Structure 1
Amino acid sequence: MDIQESAVLTRQMTASTRTQLQAPDSAIMTEVEHLLARRTRDIRLKGELSRLFQERFWPRTAKIIRAWMTWVALLDVLTLGLNAILLPKAITVSMLLPASILPPAAIACAFIWKRPRAFWLQRISLIAGMFLILLSVALVGVSAGGEFYERHLNIMLFVAITAIIIFSIPLAWTVMVASIALGLYLVFQVLNPGLANGSAVAATLFFASGIVATVVARRTMTILAQKTFLLELRDRSRVAELADANAQLERLARTDALTGIANRRWMMETLDRLWSDGMKSRSCAMLMCDIDEFKKLNDHLGHPEGDRCLVKVAGIIQSSVRRNRDHVARYGGEEFLVVLPGVDEREAVAVAERIRESVEAASLPNPASRVSPYVTLSIGVAAHSPDDETIFPEQLQNQADAALYLAKQDGRNRIVLHKPDAPST
């Protein structure tokens, strides 16, 4: 994998990181910062932010509602069974019909909230379910009469309060549940033969204060949850930006700033990785390429022209190797190191010749050169086969460097293959 593919991989990893973090876009982040700058009690989520909030918390809300509905239905059945044991038969029979309203209503609501459905359907099911549940509790007391009348109306309010507290639903829904509970309480208290109308209204107002306080508490809890969500969005955005910056720094640390190909550090890490993966037991070749008379090119044409030459030569070398397998790096100055995994001596020399000929054919000017009026390359080649003794990347690189030295001695613009019996330099 060359440095261009490494850069592509880095971008893909960064994109993957962004996806996992779900970093919002700039428009949403502007709104997030605007809301966080306001007082907590003034936070109101609208549009896309409201949708994201619901998407984030709605599954948990649905799970809570399902559990609440299931337990309410179960407790209703258990209570009715205990009443059958403890209370006179006539009272139990009177409770039976109104009590039978609750379990089907609760189970139906739990079923609708079992998976995501249309928003309007969930709203209607919850409001209708709560109405039937509260009505059932109240009617049980009304049917039994006596002490059960007032007791079950209070139980109905308790059921409503627990639902308001634990259901993280929109404020309008919460107010509707509270209104249903208070409305039912007022109606049945007015109809209570043992209670004057004034006392019924007074009792309703008393319980209304508790219900209103509960609704306000629920609203405060929702606002705090929304603020936490906004802070989470901001943190995700900042983490995503930091991941981008780190990926960019990582890419820059492994890229030669002038030519855009890998630098020496990246190549050393790549060699360590290749040898750790078992390259020492497979064929591999290295090419050490050096631009002939590069100092004279810089002195005669200037450093800007020298930089352009390096960029063009780097591009030629990069385009002359296998994109998905070979590795090219600027090793230092005017030197380039090419690593060819799975390549023997003959193939390595062929690649080196292709690179040398391509550079020469590019006719890049070097008028002060004693080799040619155009830029040329000298290349040292070293190859390792599975039958050879174990060799480390530093040794193979030294062999390629020694072959390059011989190519320079022999007149430049040529390729020299390292031979094991060749004298060391």
Structure 2
Amino acid sequence: MKYRIHPAWLVAVAAFVALIGAAGFRATPSVLLQPLHEEFGWSLSTISAAVSVNLLLYGLTAPFAAALMNRFGIRRVAMAALLLVSAGSGLTVFMTQSWQLMLCWGVLVGLGTGSLALGFVATITGRWFVRHRGLVTGVLTAGGATGNLIFLPVLSRLAESEGWRTASLTVSVAAVCVVPLIWWRLRDHPADLGVAALGADTVVAAPPKPAGGAARTALSALRDAARTRAFWLLAGGFAICGATTNGLVGTHFIPAAHDHGMPQTTAAGLLALVGVFDIAGTIASGWLTDRVDSRILLGAYYALRGLSLLVLPSLFAAAAHPSMLIFILFYGLDWVATVPPTVTLCREYFGAAGPIVFGWVFASHQIGAAFAATAAGLVRDQLGAYTWAWYGAGALALLASLLSLMLFAGKHFKPIAPGLGLAVPADS
């Protein structure tokens, strides 16, 4: 059967919308941090700990979700994930104690959003695209930024005018509304529709389901990948990436700006602008990934991010001035520009197991984010300001640049585990 539009593009659109729906809840912690603190009297470090649980599970779920997609299909896993996000967000309106915040924000939403994390992106692009793989990875990664762009200003205004419960229910409804689209358009393999992946010459039959369970597949991939130098360099750099984005800026930028007299809605608007520029930066990074060595791109991205964070403490003020807007523009362009080259390097080093291995690399991203979210809250509680959190993050980003450039030492690889499709650098 011939299609006027290759089905890969329709699958990518459905995945993009799913990522937007999942991103809705990831936009809420920074908006609801202050309202929850004011209503329940919970310390910022307590609320930040719930955010840390969310970020941690968001990352640790990714490799297992990628393995589950191999066993049960992308569509089923994506639908279940959106229902978990909806349930976790909706149930927050009934909470009265901090442990309930941990359960809803941390566990339910962490599991749901983790199943639609970047391992989901790597699985989609790995199966459906040969040509334009880097570009599509960038576009799908930008789906999270688009979700922030759509939800952040809306949720901020709802939380201020109608209360934080209305904001949470809005996210719950938005997530469940995406489910029918996923059922209609998302497919597991090009072979399901009798077509080749975009850019491939022949139709490749869908691989058989893994003999072992999803957990065993994910853990086997981690065991073999952990024997390589490349894995630890990628994971170390990506852990710092998470610490300097979701963990620090994504969670604490609004309260830090509020400390300097900036209204919460203004700060939320600035963070939404990060999402605007993030879309352009991530798509451009995907385009560059198809043309420039990914190791060079990562080294440049992390170095520029570190320098910008060292400048940030001097930019906070009661109003948004040109220097802060320049920072927002630059940080937005760099926010998740690291994803396309990291996905590409995982596939380069680990072959067909690249999506699952990337899930583990992404888990390190969220471990870094969880650490930074809690640590920054503690810095603020103990020192009364976030200044040293920004300086520490800047220094870490410069270290990530060095780790990325060290990947050149293991650029060549050889296959060692045909059953998993893993590969290992020749110097390992």
TM-score (norm 1): 0.22
Q: Which has the higher contact order (CA 8 A, sep 6+)?
A: 2
Q: Rg larger in 1 or in 2? A: 1
TM-score (norm 2): 0.22
Please identify which structure carries the higher helix content.
Answer: 2
